[in-house]
Chains A and B, each alone.
Chain A
Amino acid sequence: MGKYIVKRIAMGILSVFIVATLTFFLMNLVPGGPFVAEKSISKAAQEALEAKFGLDKPLLQRYTTYMTDFLQGDMGFSLRQRGRTVSDIIFSKFPVSARLAGIAVVVALCVGIPLGCVSAYNRGKLPDNFIIVLGTCGIAIPSFISSVLLLYTFGSWLQLLPTMGLNDAASYIMPVTALAIYPTAYITRLMRSSLLDVMGQDYIRTAKAMGLSSFMTLFKHALRNALLPVIAYVGPMLASLMTGSFVVEKIFTIPGLGREFVSSITNRDYTMIMGTTIILAALVIAANVLVDILYKVIDPRIKLK
C-alpha cells in the first residue's frame, strides 16, 4: 500500500509536469498577446513591456526559466494585474473557491445519495419517476440559468438573500445551491443505477432468500458496494468545483479562482494561465489518488498495484 501511494504520487508529479509543458507551448501558439488593447501602445512601450516580463526571449529559454522559477516556488507576476504575483492572486482566491466547493460537495452527497436510494428502492413507482424527472432537469439546466433564476427570485424579487459576495452565512445559500445542482442530480442518478445493479447480484438475492428484510439488505449489504462509482465521481467533482466556477462566481460576485482561470486565457496572461492550470491539474490528480485509496478502504477485494 505504502509503495503504491509513493508510486501514484510520483506518477502524479510527472502528469502535472506534462500538463505544464503542454500548456506552456500551446498557449504561446495561440495568436494575440497579453498587451493587446483596442488602442495600440507604441512599439517601444510594447517591447519594453515584453522585455520586463521576459517575453522577448526565445520560447525554449522562457520555458526553462519558468520551470526553474516554479520549482523554487516562484510563479512570477501576473502580466495583466500589474504589481500582483500569481501566487498572491491564487492563494487569496483559492480558499474562497475551496470553501464554496467543500460545502457544495457535502450538500450534493447528503442530498444525492439518499435521493438515489429512495429512487432505487421505489423503482418504477411515483417517487422514482419524480426523482428521475428532477434529476434530468438538474443535469440539463446549465448553471447560468439556475444562477440567474435564483438571483432574480431570492435576491431581486423576494429580497431574501444577499446578491453578492460571501460575507455572511445567508450569502452562501444561492451560490452553493447553484453549484450543487448538477453534482446532486448526477450523484442521484449514479446512486440509483449502481444500487439497482448491485441489488440484482447473487449475494443480495441470497441475503433476501435468507429472510433479511429488503430494507436491511439495501442498507447493510448493497449500499456499501453501490457507493463505489459515486466515490469515483466525487474526486474529480471536488477538484473541478475547487478550482471555481466561472459562471457562479461571476453572477454572485464571488472573488474565487474560477474567473481568474477563464479570464487569464482570454487575456493571454501567460503566467496566470500556467499558475491556474498547474493548480487544477495537481488538484485533479491528487483527488484521483485519494479516491483510489478510499476504494481500497471500502472494498478490500480491490488490489492496489
Chain B
Amino acid sequence: MNAKKILALALAALMVLAMAACNGNNGGNASDPANNGSSTPSGSGNDAEPTIASEFSVQIGPNPETLDPALNSAVDGGNMLVTLFETLLIIDENLEVQPGQAESYTVSEDGLTWTFTMRDGLKWSDGTDLTAKDFEYTFKRLADVNLAAPYGETVIGMVDGYQDAIGNPDKDGNMTTEPDIEKLNVKASDDGKTLTIVLSYPCSYFDKLVAFGTMSPVQQATVEANGDAWATKPETYVCNGPFMISEWTPSERIVVKKNPNYNGGWDSSRIVTETINFLLLEDSSASFAAYNSGAAVLIKDVPTEEIPSLTKVEDGGDYYVDTILGTYYVSMNDAIAPFNDINVRKALNLAIDRDYIANVIMQGTYTPAYNFVGPGVTDASGMFFDNSVAANGGKTYISEDYEANKKLAQEALAAAGYPGGEGFPTITYSTNDTGYHVAVAEYLQSCYKEVLGITMNIDRVEWASFTPLRRAGDYQMSRNGWVMDYNDASNIIELLYSTNGNNDGKYKSAAFDAAIDTSRVADQGEHFKALHEAEKIMMEDYACIPVAYYNDFWLQSPSLKGSWHSPYGYWFFQYAYVEE
C-alpha cells in the first residue's frame, strides 16, 4: 500500500464520518440529499461537518402583485407559483416534462383528447383530498370572463368549447351568446381519478401548457368563500406544492415552509429545507447589501454598476449568467414608409453591431441575437436554435461578421434609393426609460448616423403609455422584447402573425401566416418544420430587428446547493439547501 492509497482511505473514512454526523444532525429528517446522487453536498473538506440549515433567504423579485395562479402574469409571481403549486405535469431540471399531480397521461390518435390519470392520495396543503375535479374547476375558472385571467386564452384557448365558454365574442369583443364555463370540454371522472380534456384543434405542446403556473389547481371552497382575497393571506392560501406560505408581509418578505401534505412529482425525500424566506427587495443596492452581509444566499437584482467587479462562476466566482427564453428586439412599423421597403429594413437590421450592444453596452448580461428564436428553446429533437443554424448551412440568419454586414447595409440603403442616407427622412425611436433601453437607443442613434447617414431621434415614453402606443402602431421604430411563456417556438414566432395582438410591427406576410397555420398540427415533426420555415421567412424579410437574447444574471453563494435556474426565468428551490 503506497502513501496515496492510505491517504485516499483516510479521506474516505473521514467522509463517511462526516455523513454520519450529517444524518445525526438531521434528527427526524429521514432523508439526506447526500444519498440522492444528483446533488451531493461537498463533504470533502476534512474540517467540514456539513449540516443542513433549516432555513435560507433568497431574493428573486419584488412583491408579487398577485399569487392567484389564474391572475398572475408576471415572472415574479410565476416564480413563487412553481414553489407553492404543482400542475398536472412538471418540467424538471433537464427541461423534460415529467408527471406531476398526474401520474400518467395519454393522447388520442388525432391529438385532440388528452386523458390524465391522477396520482393516488393527493392532498391540498390544508390536508383535504385533491382530485381531478379540482383541476376541472380550475380550468373552467380560467375561462370565466368575469375573472379575466390574463393568460386564460393562451393556456386553454385551444380547448373544445372555449368560445362558448367565453360567449363567442364578435370582432368588436361583444358577446354574441351568454358565456357558460360549463361548455369547456374538460371533464373529471366521477371517482376523481382521471381528467379528460378535448381540444378543438391539435396542440402538440399541450403537455408543456399544462405544466405552466397558470394551470395550478385552486381549491373551489376557499376561492368561493374568500373571493379574490383568498390569495392574499397565508391562512386562506391553500396550495398543493412542496412549500406553502406561512407569512406574507407585502413589500418585505414571503416566508414559505415545507408542505407536510405534499404528494406529487418532486421527490419528497429530497425536499430537506424547512423554511425559505423570499425577500421582496426592490432596490438592487439593497439586494447587493443583503447578499454581502449574508442575509440572502441568492439575489436576482444585481446592481449593474457592480457587474464589472464580479467574478463569473466559470472563473471560480459567484456571478451567474444563464439564458432565458426571450429576445430583445426592435420593432419597425412595417406598415408605413420608409419601413415598408424591405431594403430599408435590411439596412437598419445589418447596420448594428450586436456583439458590441450585448457585451459592451449591456455588459454581457445579454447575448447577441442573430436569429429571432434564441437558445434554450427546445425542438422535436435537440434545440430549435441549433437546428435553425444547421438548416441554414451552419450559419445564423444574420451573419456574425459585422464588417460584411455594414457593407451590405449600405448597399441595401442605396438600393432603396437613399445612397449614404441622402433623402432619408428623420426617424423616431420610441423607448421606455429603464434598464439598458436608453443606452441601446443612443447606440442605435450614433450607429445609424455613422454607418447609414440616417438621423434618428429618441422619444422616451413612460411605461404605462409606451405599450399602448406600440400596440396601436403609433410609432416608427421602438424597443420591443418578449420572454416566452412556455417552451415552444410558436410562442415567440407567432408575435409576427398578422392578427396577433402583439404584432406591434404590423408585419403582414401571406407566406409567413401560411407557415404558422401549417404549424398548428398534432405532429411534432411537422409543427417544428413549419415553425422553422416561418422563422426563415420573417428573418429574410427583415420583419424586425433581433438585438440580443435575454439572460438572467444573479449572485449565488456557494453554500446554496440543489437549486437550479430554468430558462423560463424561474429558480427551483424544491431541493435546495444551505450547508452550515
Residue interface mask B238-274, A partner, CB < 8 A = 1: 0000000000011111000000000000000000000
**Measured CA separation A73–B355 after assembly (Å):** 57
Contact present for B467 and A253 (CB under 8 Å): no
A32-B465, A81-B65 known; A48 vs B71 contact (CB < 8 Å):
no
**Measured CA separation A10–B282 after assembly (Å):** 40
Which of the residues A82, A163, A255 comes within 8 Å of B252, measured between beta carbons?
A: A255
Interface range, A side: 35 or more
B279 contacts partner chain A, Cβ-Cβ < 8 Å = yes
Chain B residues with CB under 8 Å of A83's CB are: 66, 68, 227-232
Contact present for A32 and B285 (CB under 8 Å): no
Which of the residues A36, A39, A151, A157 comes within 8 Å of B464, measured between beta carbons?
A: A36
Contact present for B173 and A44 (CB under 8 Å): yes
Number of chain B residues whose Cβ lies closer than 8 Å to a Cβ of chain A: 56
Chain A residues with CB under 8 Å of B232's CB are: 81, 83-84
A38-B467, A43-B169, A83-B229 known; A52 vs B288 contact (CB < 8 Å):
no
Residue interface mask A23-46, B partner, CB < 8 A = 1: 000000011110011111111111
B386 → A minimal CB distance (Å) = 27
Which of the residues A41, A80, A163, A249 comes within 8 Å of B65, measured between beta carbons?
A: A80
The residue of chain B having its C-beta at the shortest distance from the C-beta of A160 within the complex is B293
B290 contacts partner chain A, Cβ-Cβ < 8 Å = yes
Contact present for A253 and B148 (CB under 8 Å): no
A215 contacts partner chain B, Cβ-Cβ < 8 Å = no
Contact present for A82 and B467 (CB under 8 Å): no
Residue interface mask B496-531, A partner, CB < 8 A = 1: 000001100000000000000000000000000000
B152 contacts partner chain A, Cβ-Cβ < 8 Å = yes
The residue of chain A having its C-beta at the shortest distance from the C-beta of B480 within the complex is A38
Contact present for B285 and A82 (CB under 8 Å): no
A31-B465, A38-B467 known; A81 vs B282 contact (CB < 8 Å):
no
A56 → B minimal CB distance (Å) = 11
**Measured CA separation A59–B221 after assembly (Å):** 37
The residue of chain B having its C-beta at the shortest distance from the C-beta of A165 within the complex is B252
Interface centre among B251, B282, B485 (most CB of A within 10 A): B251
B533 contacts partner chain A, Cβ-Cβ < 8 Å = no
Contact present for B145 and A44 (CB under 8 Å): yes
Contact present for B471 and A40 (CB under 8 Å): yes
The 10 A-B pairs of least Cβ separation, nearest first, read: A32-B464, A83-B228, A40-B501, A43-B173, A48-B148, A83-B229, A156-B289, A255-B251, A49-B148, A156-B292
Chain A positions within 8 Å of B, measured between CB atoms, are 30-33, 36-49, 52, 77, 80-84, 89, 92-93, 148, 151-152, 155-157, 159, 162-165, 249-255, 259, 266-268
Apart from A45-B145, A251-B285, what are 5 other A-B pairs with CB-CB below 8 Å?
A44-B175, A45-B153, A80-B65, A92-B250, A253-B281
